[in-house]
């Protein structure tokens, strides 16, 4: 019998995360309102895989796609094999509008596309044209039955998962560390309680599957708090708890073992439930954005060499929607030329009129 280990599931979630496969997503906004999205991912090839490929550049061929990607067939793919045995696949997807682009979001969590909506506002200001792009990724916090705001203030929760608002502004390094040490136990308790809740809800809903349960369903529900205290005795969190042993020691029965055995249907289903939640915590795809003209406001991102970079992670989607925004300007050279011509014509007309008046005199 192979027991379910949350430590093991957490490691698997990290190893299979988008971050591990070097996934990046780049959005390009054009001045005419059209846009394109590029998604790339890379892995180190085995010698056998490299030997089976012909050439350094393989158009139309791509390596196996990561689980957190869902790229539509109309996107063009390009694969390059590097000298260091790294194979990189890039998909480029053109769109007629940002609204259309969001309908084909290439990122997914646990087999479900991330929901996003976007707006592009274009404002003509004579000497320049201003572009404002906003993309909002929908919150996935409802995947956790117990919301984190039940454990900490809304601003504290938002800061912990997203970095905003900056509640440590003005604090020294020591004061910031003290503040974070106060917050961490609250978030850990939120996560622990959710994992416990997932387990209890699943067992209760499948109680009829238990052979000769030591207590009734109702009594099992009543004993939840007592069982949790027993399980966490001397433990900081539940990740290291051997659940099957805890249930056996508490109830004096192996009847609940089927829920913690990877080889049973109930064990597989419960493991999938846990894995899906941990996948949210392991999700990470760097998001970069190119705007028309010069970026004048990068929002919560960092602008470097004209490209704005944002961290797009599962944690940032837990407390609320995650908003990516930027503002840029294109200088209208023709407007300056027209304005100069108008000024020159005005000056010329004034001079010519004055000359005529002098002749009459």
Q: Give pLDDT tens digits for 285-304.
A: 999 999 999 999 999 999 99
Please give the DSSP secondary-structure letter assigned to residue 252. T
Q: Give pLDDT tens digits for 137-183.
A: 999 999 999 999 999 999 999 999 999 999 999 999 999 999 999 99
Look at residue 49 in the predicted model and tell me its pLDDT. Answer: 61
- pLDDT > 70? residue 61: no
Q: Give pLDDT tens digits for 198-224.
A: 989 999 999 999 989 999 999 999 999
Main-chain phi, psi angles of 329, to 5 degrees: -135, 145
Look at residue 56 in the predicted model and tell me its pLDDT. Answer: 47
Q: For a pLDDT cut of 70, what percent of the chain falls above it? A: 83
CB 166 within 8 A of CB 113: no
Q: Average pLDDT, stretch 37-43?
A: 90
| Rounded (10°) CA dihedral 211, 214, 218, 224 | -110
Please give the DSSP secondary-structure letter assigned to residue 317. G
- Reported confidence tier of residue 45, pLDDT bands at 50, 70, 90: low
320 or 195, which is more confident? 320
Whole-number average pLDDT of the chain: 85
- pLDDT > 90? residue 9: no
CB 310 within 8 A of CB 287: yes
């Amino acid at each position: 019998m192979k027991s379910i280990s949350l430590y093991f599931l957490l490691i698997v979630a990290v190893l299979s995360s988008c971050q591990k496969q070097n996934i990046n997503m780049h959005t390009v906004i054009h001045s005419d309102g059209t846009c394109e999205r590029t998604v790339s991912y890379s892995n180190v090839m085995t010698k056998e895989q490299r030997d089976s490929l012909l050439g350094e550049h393989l158009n139309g061929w791509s390596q196996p796609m990561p689980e957190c990607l869902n790229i539509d067939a109309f996107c063009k793919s390009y694969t390059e094999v590097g000298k260091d045995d790294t194979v990189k696949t890039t998909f480029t997807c053109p769109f007629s509008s940002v609204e259309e682009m969001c309908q084909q979001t290439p990122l997914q969590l646990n087999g479900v596309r991330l929901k996003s909506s976007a707006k592009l506002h274009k404002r003509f200001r004579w000497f320049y044209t201003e572009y404002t792009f906003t993309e909002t990724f929908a919150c996935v916090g409802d995947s956790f039955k117990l919301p984190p705001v039940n454990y900490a203030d809304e601003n504290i929760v938002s800061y912990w998962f997203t970095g905003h608002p900056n509640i440590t502004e003005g604090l020294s390094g020591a004061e910031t560390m003290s503040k974070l040490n106060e917050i961490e136990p609250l978030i850990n308790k939120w996560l622990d309680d959710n994992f416990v809740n997932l387990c209890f809800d699943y067992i209760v809903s499948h109680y009829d599957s238990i052979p000769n349960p030591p207590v009734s369903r109702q009594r099992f529900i009543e004993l939840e708090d007592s069982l949790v205290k027993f399980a966490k005795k001397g433990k900081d969190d539940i990740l290291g708890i051997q659940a099957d042993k805890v249930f056996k020691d508490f109830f004096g029965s192996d009847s609940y073992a089927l829920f913690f055995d990877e080889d049973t249907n109930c064990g597989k289903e419960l493991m999938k439930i846990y894995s899906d939640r941990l996948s949210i915590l392991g999700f990470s795809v760097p998001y970069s954005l190119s705007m028309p003209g010069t970026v004048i406001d990068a929002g919560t991102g960092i602008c470097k060499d004209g490209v704005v970079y944002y961290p797009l992670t599962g944690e940032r989607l837990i407390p609320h929607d995650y908003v990516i925004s930027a503002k840029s300007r294109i200088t209208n050279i023709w407007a300056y030329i027209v304005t100069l011509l108008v000024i020159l014509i005005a000056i010329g007309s004034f001079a010519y009129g004055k000359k005529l008046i002098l002749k009459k005199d």
